[in-house]
Amino acid sequence: MRDQKISRSVPMKGHPDYIPALDGIRGLAIILVLIIHLTLQSHPHTQSLLLNAVIGFCNLGWAGVDLFFVLSGFLITGILYDGVDRPSFFRNFYARRFLRIFPLYYASLLVLLLLSGPLGIGWHGSQFILLGYLQNVAPLRAAIPATVFQYTGHFWSLAVEEQFYLVWPCLVFLIRDRKKLIITALTLAAMAPILRTTILLTHIVSRYECYEFTLCRMDSLLIGSALALAIRGPARSMVLKFSPAVFPLLLFVCIGFQVWVTNGNNLVAGHGDFFYTVGFTPLAVSFAALVGCALRPRSLTGHIFQNATLRWFGRHSYGIYIMHFIFLNTSFIGKFPRLFLETKFHSELLGVVLGGIPALLITLICAWLSYRYYEGPFLRLKRHFQARVQPGTSA
C-alpha cells in the first residue's frame, strides 16, 4: 500500500502552502551564476593579488547550477509524487512544464536566429541541435560552432533538466512506492560519480563534455528528488533536524578535498579532478541539506531566504538565466564596457568588478518585462492543467 503522504508538494506563489524561502534559494543560485559569468572573460591569473582574489571568489559561482539542479529535483519530484494517483498525470505535468520552459527558450533562439547577421552567428545546422535540447550530448555539442556557443553555451543545463523530465516522471509513475523511489533515486545518483570517474580515466569524451552530460549530472537532481520523498515520510523530522549540521560539514569537506587534490592552488575552481569524479555528489547532498534548513519551521535559514531581494531574483531566475549570457557576450553591451574601464582607468580590477554592470542591468530589466508581459500569459494557462483532487485525498 502506498505510503501516506506527510507533506504536500511545494506549490507556486499564491498557493496557501507556498514556501517563500525556496524562491530565495533559487535567487541565491542565479546570483551565484551571475557572479561567475560577470567575470568569465577575465584572466584567471594576473600580476594583481587583489584581482586574483576577486576572480577566485567569483569562481565560486559555478556551484549555482548545482544548487539549481538540487532544487529542481526536489520541487519536481514533490509535484510528481503528490499527483501520481490523480487523473491526467502525464498531461498535467508536461503541459505545465511546456508552459513554463518552452516559450522563453524558443523565443530566445528565434531572436538569435533573426539577429544572426548583426551578431555574426553562423549556425551551420546547429539550431536543430538546440531546438531538440541535445546540446549537452558530446558528438552534437562538438558540432555547435563557436559563434553559436558564444551565446548559447549556458543552455546545456536546460538540456540536462529537460532530459531528466522525460525519464523521471515515468519512473515515478511506474514505481509509485515512496521507499522504492528513494532507493531508485539514490542508486541512480550513485552511478553518476562512477560514470564521471570512468570517463576521466578512459578519456572517452572531454572533461567538459562529461560535465554537461545528463547521466553524469543526474546525481544532483536525484538527491534533490530523494529529499522530496524523504520529507514525505516518517523520517521528515530527522532529516530536517540534521540538515543544519550536514550542510556546512559536507561543504567544508568538498572544499577541503579540493584544496588537498590541487595542493591549495585551485581552491574554488569546480572542475578539478575531485569534483569531476566524486565531488559533485557530496556537494549536492550539502545543497539538499540547505533546502532542508529552509524547510525547518521558524529557522534562521528560512528567514534569510525570505529576503525580498533574493525572492525577486528567484522569481525571475529563468529569464535572467536565459538572457544574461547573451547580453554579456554581446560586444557593445558586455565586452565594450569592461575594455573601456580597463583602458580609461588602467585598472583590470575595475573592469572585472564594474564591466558587467550594463549587461546585468539590461538583463534584469528584460527578465522582469518578460516575466510580466510574455511569460506571464503562458504561466496563467497552467491553471487549466491542475490535478483534480479526489475526495479523501490530500490537496
pLDDT digits (tens, 9 = 90+) for 271-325: 567 888 899 999 999 999 999 999 999 999 999 999 999 999 999 999 999 999 9
Q: Enumerate residues 6+ apart whose C-beta is below 8 A from 120.
A: 147
- The reply to whether 172 falls in a domain is yes
- The reply to whether 201 falls in a domain is yes
Q: 127 is in which domain, residue-wise?
A: 20-384
pLDDT of residue 57: 66
Rounded Cα–Cα distance for residues 338 and 108 (Å)? 25
- The reply to whether 329 falls in a domain is yes
Average per-residue pLDDT in the chain? 87
Q: How many domains does the chain have?
A: 1
Is the whole-model pTM more than 0.85? yes
- The reply to whether 354 falls in a domain is yes
Once rounded to an integer, what is the mean pLDDT over residues 85-90? 92
pLDDT category, 390, cuts 50, 70, 90? very low
- The reply to whether 32 falls in a domain is yes
pLDDT digits (tens, 9 = 90+) for 10-65: 344 444 357 899 999 999 999 999 988 887 655 445 556 666 666 666 777 889 99
- The reply to whether 2 falls in a domain is no
- The reply to whether 13 falls in a domain is no
- What is the CB neighbour count within 10 angstroms for residue 109? 17
pLDDT of residue 53: 64
Helix or strand run (H / E) with residue 150: helix 146-152
Rounded Cα–Cα distance for residues 69 and 332 (Å)? 32
Rounded Cα–Cα distance for residues 357 and 348 (Å)? 15
Cell of 225: 528528488
pLDDT digits (tens, 9 = 90+) for 342-374: 788 777 777 777 788 899 999 999 999 999 999
73-77, 84-88, 172-176, 226-230: least confident range: 84-88
- The reply to whether 11 falls in a domain is no
